[in-house]
Amino acid sequence: MSLRGFHILFLILAVICSGGFWAWTIWQPEQAKEMNAVTTGNLSGSLALGLLVYTLWFIIVKSKTIRV
């Protein structure tokens, strides 16, 4: 696997993990409040959106300039 492919895979997994944690805090608000994870969940949602934008930028723009 190339470094470019690994980077894309890692970004996709990071978006899934941070988005999944955010979704859990949305779907299970009682448990999230018990564990004091509401603020962390909201930050994780912001991170997921930022990583998604970066991932799309990397795939569309940056990957074209990288030689394989």
pLDDT of residue 64: 76
pLDDT at position 6, please? Answer: 93
SS (H, E, C) 10-45: HHHHHHHHHHHHHHHHHHCHHHHHHCCCHHHHHHHH
Enter the tokens of residue 63. 């990957």
DSSP SS3 for 14? helix
Determine the residue type at 14.
A
Series of mean pLDDT values for 10-residue runs along the chain (68 residues): 90 97 96 94 96 94 75
Domain limits of the chain?
Answer: 3-64
- Give the phi and the psi of residue 8 in degrees, each rounded to 5: -65, -45
Identify the pLDDT of residue 58.
92
Question: What does pTM read for this prediction?
Answer: 0.84
Question: What is the three-class DSSP state of 2?
Answer: coil
pLDDT given for residue 19 in this prediction: 97
